[in-house]
Amino acid sequence: MAATLHDVARLAGVSIKTVSNVINDYPHVRPTTREKVQAAIAELGYTPNLTARNLRSGKTGAIALALPDLGLSYFAELAADVIAEAEKAGVVVLVEQTGGDRQRELDLLRSPRLKLTDGLIFSPLGMGQEDVDALEVPYPMVVLGERIFDGPVDHVTMQNVEGARAATEFLIANGRRRIAVVGAHEGEVIGSAGLRTRGYVQGLEAAGIPYDEGLIAYTTTWHRANGATAMRDLLARGAEFDAVFGLNDTLALGAMRVLQEAGIDVPGDVHVIGWDDLDEAKYSIPSLTTVDPGRRWIARTAVRTLLDRIANPTEDHRSLLLADYRIVERESAPALQRESVTAP
Amino acid sequence: MAATLHDVARLAGVSIKTVSNVINDYPHVRPTTREKVQAAIAELGYTPNLTARNLRSGKTGAIALALPDLGLSYFAELAADVIAEAEKAGVVVLVEQTGGDRQRELDLLRSPRLKLTDGLIFSPLGMGQEDVDALEVPYPMVVLGERIFDGPVDHVTMQNVEGARAATEFLIANGRRRIAVVGAHEGEVIGSAGLRTRGYVQGLEAAGIPYDEGLIAYTTTWHRANGATAMRDLLARGAEFDAVFGLNDTLALGAMRVLQEAGIDVPGDVHVIGWDDLDEAKYSIPSLTTVDPGRRWIARTAVRTLLDRIANPTEDHRSLLLADYRIVERESAPALQRESVTAP
DNA sequence: CTGAAAGCGCTAACAC
DNA sequence: GTGTTAGCGCTTTCAG
């Protein structure tokens, strides 16, 4: 079995307290003693048992990140950012997938498995405002996303309404009038789909363009396949549009594919804008104009806020932290002046 | 603070052993006692302290997964599969990113942070055969990938040479003779790039087609941008080819984008095949023919093998487990007979 | 500067 | 059936 403090102490001929002092580099240790101990540590290949240390200290040095599915690019990139940021703080990340299922999310919040961590970054997808009370948990938590607001915890999220409105206005400024939406959720008010749709409506209103239900394509989950299906529906029912707002990049890419299959040119006939600024948005054909909702900032802020909350558990934490967004202009929806330059 | 066994025992008027018996549903507990205890548990909102349990049992119920970067789609999908499989076994997964950097990988193997887990699924990218001794670690480990063979641990991987040869033969069978490779690594023998390139060469040889160095495009990392750059190089130096073998899907998609920018039709002028069968390969334009290297099987097998190794630490584990591969035929490299059918 | 000893919360002999 | 008790390996008063 692995060596323990006792083994090291015995070999070095000192007490375990002295070994402990050396390990935690407590300053007042005689240099000769320190060397003896370090030699013994090296000889035995001793490494501290973190479980014991954690039991003692009540901390684990790990945080949990719960998200729907790493197969969804947005969440994969978010997780990459969270892990990288946690690493800077010397903290390790345990990743849980909920599948975006409400019951699994609720179960997770009460799971004893979270006891392995000091706190949770929670990105729900199935839960809604009615579950706000479930966020009252006995451990530090930071909530992401836009399923639940005004919970008893810190909340880091993006500016969905504002960003979507900006995306819509961007399309309108480039001469688009009939903007289809791919990925709306029927009757949803809160949640990414609901909020981004609201921003879309605001953008139309500001420009005096009437809202047309016939341009809205609904989906369940935001997979590529659903973006493709939604676009096929739109085409099948004869919708006429000169732009598409994919409520995320994945949907937009799926929709774009169907457009091209149907012989509709992007951006010649139809402009397409997405949301997320995934890595792949740079490399699609054409490259995808999109809204960067500040994912890196969200990851960084979530980790820092959680660690702060862990360090100061008594303070009240229920701030709402909003990331900046910006439109990343690429080929699928060029701005007017560029279009006139690049057109043949 | 959170309630402990003692608190529950005191409230229920029993000893902690009885409470422990109830929690671990030990059969011989009088029903009335059980109820009393359960009531106390509910009242106090007691949940067991896993850290203490782990210290006692020497297990943590967690495994670590170390991979280069979740921002790389293949690893994100692999991680999703690993976490899902681990969850079935009631085990939680701690994800570490190494950036594919050799030193970080070596450091990770010796990191005390791994003490928080019962074992490691390790997917190195920077380490090589010369580091095989570093795999001799005092905890259960399963190695993935093709950087290191014949280590002192179980190894789960894909059939790189065979799959690449099959991909090459597939292209040849469809009339292709000049097949460019995107993503080779200069001078590499082992490792994904080296092995897949070897399979490519074998495929050419079997068909009596001479190897042409001018058709090989080298890259460092396998990001989309590098696939694009490699293809630009190939075009810039006037290479003539009628097919492209992207050593992974991401490279193939980047290369395909550049081909189309250059007015080269896929698959009309050039066939493209990738490797990985990422989700997005289904939805690119055109959809990407690719080699499915058995990623799900690898994830499942890695988790099961590791858990088995954790349960039976004494047995010698140094098996080599190989996934089946298969060619997933899509639009970017249609098979001959289908091409003639679907052509207008 | 270093040693002795208590105890973090839990499980598992071992009694009764 | 249920209670007592001894640790798991570590940190941390408190003495010396």
Which string of DSSP letters, residue by residue, matches B130-169? GGGGGG--SS-EEEESSS--S-SSEEEE--HHHHHHHHHH
A309/chain B closest Cα distance in angstroms: 16
Q: How far is the CA of B113 from the C1' of D9 (A)?
A: 16
Under 8 Å between Cβ of B167 and B272: no
Write B43-48 long-range contacts (CB < 8 A, 24+).
B43/B11, B44/B3, B44/B7, B44/B8, B44/B11, B45/A138, B45/B3, B46/B2, B46/B3, B46/B4, B46/B5, B46/B7, B46/B8, B47/A110, B47/A112, B47/A115, B47/B2, B48/A112, B48/A115, B48/B5, B48/B23
A259/chain B closest Cα distance in angstroms: 10
Calculate the alpha carbon distances from A236 to A217, A229, A239, A240, B140 in Å.
Answer: 11, 10, 8, 11, 55
For chain A, domains (ranges, CATH) are 5-46 (1.10.260.40), 62-158+295-313 (3.40.50.2300), 160-292 (3.40.50.2300)
Which chain A residue is nearest to residue B94, measuring alpha carbons? A94
Which bases of chain D come closer than 7 Å to a protein CB? 1-5, 7-13
Mutate to test the interface with A, among B280, B288, B330 (most CBs of A within 10 A): B280
Residue of B95, B183, B79, B191 lying closest to B145 (CA atoms): B191
Which pLDDT value is given to residue A273?
Answer: 98
pLDDT in tens, chain A (344 residues): 578 888 888 888 888 888 888 888 877 788 888 888 888 888 888 888 888 988 888 889 999 999 999 999 999 999 999 999 999 999 999 999 999 999 999 999 998 888 889 999 999 999 999 999 999 998 999 999 999 999 999 999 999 999 999 999 999 999 999 999 999 999 888 889 999 999 999 999 999 999 999 999 999 989 888 999 999 999 999 999 999 999 999 999 999 999 998 999 999 999 999 999 998 898 888 999 999 999 999 999 999 999 999 988 877 778 999 999 999 999 999 997 644 444 33
Instruction: Give the integer Cα–Cα distance in Å for B188 and B197.
Output: 9
Cα angle, residue B93 at apex, residues B89 and B96 outer, rounded to 5°: 155
Which chain A residue is nearest to residue B138, measuring alpha carbons? A2
Under 8 Å between Cβ of B80 and A97: yes
Residue nearest to nucleotide C3 (CA to C1'): A15
Q: How far is the CA of A171 from the C1' of C4 (A)?
A: 75
Structure tokens belonging to residue B73: 């789609």
B48/chain A closest Cα distance in angstroms: 7
pLDDT in tens, chain B (344 residues): 678 888 888 888 888 888 888 888 877 788 888 888 888 888 888 888 888 888 888 889 999 999 999 999 999 999 999 999 999 999 999 999 999 999 999 999 988 888 889 999 999 999 999 999 999 998 999 999 999 999 999 999 999 999 999 999 999 999 999 999 999 999 888 889 999 999 999 999 999 999 999 999 999 989 888 999 999 999 999 999 999 999 999 999 999 999 998 999 999 999 999 999 998 898 888 999 999 999 999 999 999 999 999 988 877 778 999 999 999 999 999 997 644 444 33
Backbone phi, psi, residue B9, to 5°: -60, -45
Task: Give the one of B79, B115, B260 whose C-beta lies nearest to A70's C-beta.
Answer: B79
Backbone phi, psi, residue B159, to 5°: -95, 85
Sort strands A92-97 and B92-97 into parallel, antiparallel or unpaired.
antiparallel
Q: Do B97 and A116 touch (CB under 8 A)?
A: no
